């Protein structure tokens, strides 16, 4: 009989911070050996560089930095531990996405990732070449194989490991969250385990990195595909598994199966973690946002307070002649409920001074969206001034539906460093508000119930110029996330003219999205690295 003490080190790494990440690895392993003999400590993909390091991988000093980290690990890690870490490895002029095992002060095995994702947000073929062989090593009498992330989504790396005699596979991941992803992972890994007839331990990183949020949720499946252990999602931590290779049916003990979060809670947690890590990893003191009395800024405020605490959040209401009293009141009420600093700064005088200065330029013209954009830009400049003066980040509040159709003002409500709801469709904004209010009082009910309005013109409603959001979001999901054509969407029962108008709006607003702040990706296709469209384009919908 052979058994292993396996630790799933669900770590929150920082991209580019070789020193910091290396020290964290050492600390985690030192704690592990205090409680368990000869632990096998498994870290996420590209532990030392963080993920995704992007073009930092093109810098020549990457090699030196990795070598220094590995040397430090070899000299400082407890010799009895088996430590499985990920790092970029240059060999023979090529760069590999590697996983190595350190034991007894030496690197005793190394694996090179075979399947390199180069789709969606991933660009791994820009940097890496593929490995071509399995890696199986003997750890205390157990034949242990390694693989990395995407390797588990194709068949051959796991099959080859089985062929090479593996009894168990350790899979290192930096797998970003999107809605439904956890279920997809469990299913895929279970299928691979059954095919290979061995158990698999899936270790994922946790944390926000620019537009990505890694959700953790590390887990282990048995050879029959049963999930035998699952760590929490969205929490950093270390989770023990006792593995016994004689007990084929129940090889794992020690770690409970954390029931999967419902998707609404997971989405909420993803937004919170995304904001917290962006603000903290970038060293901001706190955040400021424009609180309009509308639902988007209400939810943004709620997420910010959960992420950072009320003392690091400032809400500014910037009324104008079209702002309703209801908006002013509701904004004040939520700020009070949440305990954040609340200020009111009117934009009347600023707006008036712009219009006076533009009098000659605008002579003979009639009001149009220019004046609406101007209101938004007065607000944007105010927020940026506060940001500059106080060293706080401006959170923007645009949702995915608005980003899609360009219902937003560049340098106005789009001015800021991080757009919390960038990948949240408006209908989901409503659901998240309702979800948040189940956790305790937060967003005034009236904010959720009233018809959405940008309040940039008298009695304006979003639905005056856009289809109802439940229709709009369905069309957008089909076009943006599922690449369906206009005809295919119309075939689903939507109005031809409406579909064509929405798709056209999506197409012509690429220029706005290109200058938009980044935000948390929570769907299968967010705007950002995920969707790379030309601005200049003669593409016409209709096929």
Q: Known catalytic residues?
A: 45, 113, 149
The footprint of its own copies on residues 112-131 (CB under 8 A) is: 118-119, 123, 125-126
Chain-centre distance of CA 112, in angstroms?
26
Output the smallest distance, CB 138 to its own copies, in A.
Answer: 36
Output the smallest distance, CB 477 to its own copies, in A.
Answer: 15
What character string, x for contact with its own copies (CB under 8 A) and - otherwise, covers 376-405? Answer: -xx-xxx-xxx-xx----------------
Provide the Cα torsion 392, 419, 296, 283; round to 10°.
-30
What character string, x for contact with its own copies (CB under 8 A) and - otherwise, covers 412-431? Answer: ---x-x--------------
279 sits in which H/E element: helix 263-281
CB nearer to its own copies: give 47 or 427: 47
Q: Does 540 participate in binding its own copies (rule CB under 8 A)? A: yes
- Spatial CB neighbours of 408, under 8 Å, sequence gap ≥ 6: 376, 398, 402, 414, 512
Output the smallest distance, CB 56 to its own copies, in A.
Answer: 6
Q: Does 445 participate in binding its own copies (rule CB under 8 A)? A: no
CB nearer to its own copies: give 82 or 177: 177
b/e burial code for range 499-531 (CB count within 10 A of at least 16 → b)? bbbbbebbeebbebbeebbbbbbbbbbbbbbbe
- Flag whether 12 is marked binding: no
Chain-centre distance of CA 193, in angstroms?
27
Q: Does 102 participate in binding its own copies (rule CB under 8 A)? A: no
CB nearer to its own copies: give 208 or 293: 208
Residue 301 · residue 271 · CB < 8 Å: no
Q: Which residues pair with 42 in a beta bridge?
A: 8, 84
Residue 85 · residue 43 · CB < 8 Å: yes
Residue from 2, 14, 72, 490 in contact with its own copies (CB under 8 A): 14
Output the smallest distance, CB 282 to its own copies, in A.
Answer: 6
Q: Does 406 participate in binding its own copies (rule CB under 8 A)? A: no
Residue from 91, 164, 247, 411 in contact with its own copies (CB under 8 A): 411
Q: Does 236 participate in binding its own copies (rule CB under 8 A)? A: no
* Sign of the torsion formed by the C-alpha atoms of 532, 55, 212 and 149: positive
440-444-447 Cα angle (round to 5): 135
Residue from 410, 442, 466, 503 in contact with its own copies (CB under 8 A): 410
The footprint of its own copies on residues 143-202 (CB under 8 A) is: none
Q: Does 287 participate in binding its own copies (rule CB under 8 A)? A: no
- Flag whether 175 is marked binding: yes
The footprint of its own copies on residues 197-216 (CB under 8 A) is: 208-210
- Flag whether 373 is marked binding: yes
Output the smallest distance, CB 374 to its own copies, in A.
Answer: 6
The footprint of its own copies on residues 296-315 (CB under 8 A) is: none
Joined together, the tokens standing for residue 91 give 């060999």
- Flag whether 297 is marked binding: yes
The footprint of its own copies on residues 347-366 (CB under 8 A) is: 347, 349-350, 352-354, 356-358, 360-362, 365
The footprint of its own copies on residues 503-532 (CB under 8 A) is: 511, 514-518, 531-532
Q: Does 26 participate in binding its own copies (rule CB under 8 A)? A: no
Nearest to 237 by CA among 270, 208, 268, 215: 215
135 sits in which H/E element: none
What character string, x for contact with its own copies (CB under 8 A) and - otherwise, covers 31-70? Answer: -------------------x-xxxxx-xxxx--xx-----
Residue 128 to residue 115: CA distance in whole angstroms: 10
Residue from 186, 252, 278, 469 in contact with its own copies (CB under 8 A): 278
Joined together, the tokens standing for residue 113 give 């990732």
266-421-315 Cα angle (round to 5): 110
Where does 36-174 have alpha helices with state H? 61-76, 156-163
CB nearer to its own copies: give 60 or 493: 60
- Flag whether 202 is marked binding: no
Nearest to 211 by CA among 538, 521, 522: 521
In a 3-state reduction of DSSP, which class is residue 322?
coil
Q: Does 535 participate in binding its own copies (rule CB under 8 A)? A: yes
Q: Does 93 participate in binding its own copies (rule CB under 8 A)? A: no
CB nearer to its own copies: give 265 or 541: 541
**Count of residues that bind its own copies according to CB under 8 A:** 86
- Spatial CB neighbours of 54, under 8 Å, sequence gap ≥ 6: 15, 123
What character string, x for contact with its own copies (CB under 8 A) and - otherwise, covers 452-491? Answer: -------------------------------xxx------
Residue 21 · residue 13 · CB < 8 Å: yes
Nearest to 505 by CA among 405, 403, 410, 399: 405
Nearest to 15 by CA among 210, 216, 215, 204: 210
Output the smallest distance, CB 280 to its own copies, in A.
Answer: 10
Cβ burial, residue 341 (10 Å; 0-12/13-18/19+): middle
Other Cβ atoms closer than 10 A to 350: 19
Pick the stretch among 134-142, 293-301, 367-375, 428-436 that binds its own copies (CB under 8 A).
367-375
- Spatial CB neighbours of 470, under 8 Å, sequence gap ≥ 6: 427
Q: Does 285 participate in binding its own copies (rule CB under 8 A)? A: no
Annotated binding residues for L-glutamine, as ranges?
Answer: 119, 175, 181
């Amino acid at each position: 009989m052979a058994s292993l003490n396996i630790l799933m080190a669900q770590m929150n790494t920082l991209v580019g911070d070789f020193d910091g990440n290396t020290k964290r690895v050492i600390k985690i392993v030192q704690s592990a050996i205090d409680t368990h003999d000869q632990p096998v400590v498994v870290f996420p993909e590209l532990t030392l560089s963080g993920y995704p390091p992007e073009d930092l991988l093109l810098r020549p000093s990457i090699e030196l930095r990795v070598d220094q980290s590995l040397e430090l690990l070899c000299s400082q890690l407890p010799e009895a531990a088996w430590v499985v870490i990920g790092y970029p490895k240059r060999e023979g002029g090529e760069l590999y996405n590697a996983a190595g095992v350190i034991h007894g002060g030496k690197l005793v095995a190394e694996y090179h990732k075979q399947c390199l994702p180069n789709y969606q947000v991933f660009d791994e073929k820009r940097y890496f070449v593929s490995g071509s062989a399995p890696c199986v090593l003997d750890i205390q009498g157990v034949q242990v194989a390694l693989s990395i992330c995407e390797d588990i989504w194709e068949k051959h790396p796991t099959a080859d490991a089985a062929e090479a005699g593996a009894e168990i596979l350790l899979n290192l991941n930096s797998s970003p969250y999107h809605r439904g992803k956890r279920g997809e992972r469990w299913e895929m890994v279970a299928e691979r385990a059954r095919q290979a007839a061995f158990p698999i331990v899936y270790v994922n990183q946790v944390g926000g990195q620019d537009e990505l949020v890694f959700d953790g949720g590390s887990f282990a499946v048995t050879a029959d595909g049963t999930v035998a252990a699952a760590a929490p999602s969205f929490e950093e931590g270390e989770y023990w598994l006792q593995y016994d290779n004689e007990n084929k049916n129940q090889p794992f003990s020690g770690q409970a199966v954390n029931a999967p979060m419902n998707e609404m809670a997971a989405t909420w947690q993803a937004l919170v973690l995304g904001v917290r890590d962006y603000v903290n990893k970038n060293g901001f003191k706190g955040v400021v946002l424009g609180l309009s009395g509308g639902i988007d800024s209400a939810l943004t405020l709620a997420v910010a307070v959960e992420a950072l605490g009320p003392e690091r959040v400032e809400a500014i209401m910037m009324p104008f002649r079209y702002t309703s009293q209801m908006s002013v009141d509701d904004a004040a009420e939520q700020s009070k409920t949440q305990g954040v600093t609340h200020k009111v700064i009117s934009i009347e005088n600023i707006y008036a001074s712009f219009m006076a200065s533009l009098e000659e330029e605008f002579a003979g013209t009639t009001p149009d969206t220019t004046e609406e954009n101007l209101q938004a830009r007065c607000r944007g400049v105010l927020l940026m001034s506060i940001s500059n003066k106080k060293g706080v980040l401006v959170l923007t509040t645009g949702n995915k539906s608005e980003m899609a159709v360009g219902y937003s003002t560049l340098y106005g409500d789009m001015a800021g460093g991080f757009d919390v709801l960038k990948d949240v469709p408006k209908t989901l904004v409503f659901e998240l508000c309702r979800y948040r209010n189940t956790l305790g009082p937060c967003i005034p009910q009236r904010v959720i119930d009233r018809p959405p309005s940008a309040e940039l013109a008298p009695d304006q409603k979003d639905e005056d110029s856009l289809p109802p959001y439940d229709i709009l979001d369905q069309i957008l999901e089909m076009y943006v996330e599922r690449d369906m054509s206009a005809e295919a969407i119309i075939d689903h029962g939507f109005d031809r003219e409406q579909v064509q108008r929405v798709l056209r709006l999506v197409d012509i607003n690429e220029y706005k999205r290109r200058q938009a702040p980044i935000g948390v990706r929570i769907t299968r296709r967010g705007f950002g690295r995920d969707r790379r469209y030309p601005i200049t384009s003669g593409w016409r919908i209709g096929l």
